[in-house]
Chains A and B, each alone.
Chain A
Amino acid sequence: MKVELLCHTPVTGLREALRKRDLPEVDLLPHLSFTFAVEGISRACSHQLVRHRVASFSQQSQRYIEVRKLRKHVVTPETVAGSAPQLFESFIEKTGETYHELLGRGIPKEDARFVLPNATETAMLMTMDGRSLFHFFGLRCCNRAQWEIRALADAMLVQVRAVEPERFRRAGPYCYQLGYCPEGRFSCGRMDEVKGKYDQMSRS
């Protein structure tokens, strides 16, 4: 996985325009946008990502882009790599062969892709405003989030804090933002550990 913050709205011009009038942060956040290049995540992860509707996505299209060597462009979960690597790899190998056999028979890419698995890598350009990012971090940095999108959210948060340290100092999973866990009976029960992790991220 590779994540890079490509561009964000500079706050300097905004502050000058406001003639030093302090707006609450909550009012400023929707006016700031952050654009990331997200590369090497699975289609399983991108399906979760695009459920965040107050955001913009431009994703590599399997209608136009052929997956040349599937086995070199898949994300393998650690659980699978640890317990059943051969089973997974043989499925990917066979699926890649089937995909290319379909293409070889003249099936268009947009139809041959129906056999491709959720593990297939993808890349996208993604833009969110500051308020949506806080919500995204609240849900996806949480221990209850799936490991791949949690890793993505953490990587994004590190980069957002690097360019806007004060504004995003309190960004993180909802328990970190709110001071209590809103997950009820599903709570991981490890708030202190989580707080330590995101405090440490601020310091580093």
Chain B
Amino acid sequence: MRLEIVAHTPDVEALIATAMLTTTSGASPSTLFHSLRGDAGRAARVVDRLEVQHGSILEHNRLCWVLEATESEALDILLSCRFFSFTKIEDSRWLVSANLRTVVEFAESRRDAFTQALVESIREVTPTIYQHLRGNER
């Protein structure tokens, strides 16, 4: 099995921080986003305060992967979590996508090669959530 991230929503941490602050701060989401997008450190500090059980905050993004896997491996993932979208590209090759909430909840419920690859794939996309997931593994 091989997993490679091929596309994702840009500025994922700025969007997470915007979603968090929109609900409680009174500032408009567009103002928050434009401010946070230019300040990765501040966005990361806000995201670091996230209590992950408030999962809807993590849904404002989409990550896309190409997965090389057998049909039975793909079916196993699909049956474990209905929030992954799968499109067959060719034999044993799939376009897969999900939002970060799906990634986090999947990673917290399973320990296998696919989950490891899934977590590794978000290292650059959202370093704060990646660190959070890595911390939970220890």
Contact = CB atoms under 8 A, between A and B. Distances in A.
Interface of A: 2, 4, 6-14, 16-18, 21, 23, 27-28, 30-33, 35, 37-39, 56-61, 64-66, 123-125, 127, 129
Closest 5 CB pairs of A and B: A56-B59, A33-B62, A17-B6, A13-B7, A58-B19
Contacts of A14: 6-7, 64, 95
Interface in B1-52: 4, 6-11, 15, 18-20, 22-26, 28-30, 33
Q: Is the interface of B mostly helix, strand, loop or mixed?
A: mixed
B29 A9 contact: no
B9 A39 contact: no
A37 B7 contact: no
A156 to B, nearest CB: 14
A23 B97 CA distance: 15
Contact of A7 (B15, B24, B99): B15
Contact of A23 (B8, B11, B89): B89
B23 A18 contact: no
28 contacts: A4-B30, A6-B30, A7-B10, A10-B10, A14-B7, A17-B64, A17-B95, A18-B66, A30-B97, A31-B87, A32-B62, A33-B62, A35-B15, A35-B60, A35-B61, A37-B18, A56-B56, A58-B22, A58-B23, A58-B57, A65-B24, A66-B26, A123-B29, A125-B19, A125-B60, A127-B62, A129-B62, A129-B85
A17 B97 CA distance: 13
B53 to A, nearest CB: 15
Contacts, number: 123
Contacts of A127: 59-62, 99
- Which of A18, A57, A58, A127 has most chain B Cβ within 10 Å? A58
B29 A125 contact: yes
B135 to A, nearest CB: 25
A185 B59 CA distance: 38
